[in-house]
């Protein structure tokens, strides 16, 4: 199955998610948050830098729990413009 390329808006949404997660992580280490969420530090790095702009729902949910964020807040701050 071939995946359609992401639109610029979808890439921007991924970048917003990455910035939000990075800000929420604050001074805590990437390894600490990744371990708490049950993912690798490399996966978290890719999400935070926008190289993985469409992470799986359960990955985002686990990161939200690890960072003390609500899914509603994440969805609202990362939504595509005009949606």
More confident residue, 73 or 29: 29
Torsion of CA 24, 77, 59, 33, to 10 degrees: 0
Categorize the per-residue pLDDT at 83 as very low, low, confident or very high, splitting at 50, 70 and 90.
Answer: very low
pTM of the full structure: 0.87
- Domain range annotation of the chain: 8-78
Pairwise CA distance, residues 74 & 50, whole Å? 15
Per-residue pLDDT for 76 more than 60? yes
| 44: Cβ contacts below 8 Å, ≥ 6 apart | 21, 30, 33, 34, 37, 63
The answer regarding whether domain 8-78 maps to CATH 1.10.3720.10 reads no
Q: Write the pLDDT tens digit of every residue in 28-44.
A: 999 999 999 999 999 99
Categorize the per-residue pLDDT at 4 as very low, low, confident or very high, splitting at 50, 70 and 90.
Answer: confident
């Amino acid at each position: 199955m071939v995946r359609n390329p992401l639109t610029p808006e979808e890439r921007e949404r991924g970048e917003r998610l990455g910035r939000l997660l990075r800000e929420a992580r604050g001074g805590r280490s990437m390894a600490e948050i990744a371990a708490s969420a049950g993912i690798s530090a490399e996966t978290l790095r890719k999400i935070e830098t926008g190289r993985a702009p469409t992470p799986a729902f359960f990955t985002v949910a686990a990161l939200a729990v690890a960072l003390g964020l609500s899914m509603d807040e994440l969805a609202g701050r990362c939504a595509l413009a005009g949606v």
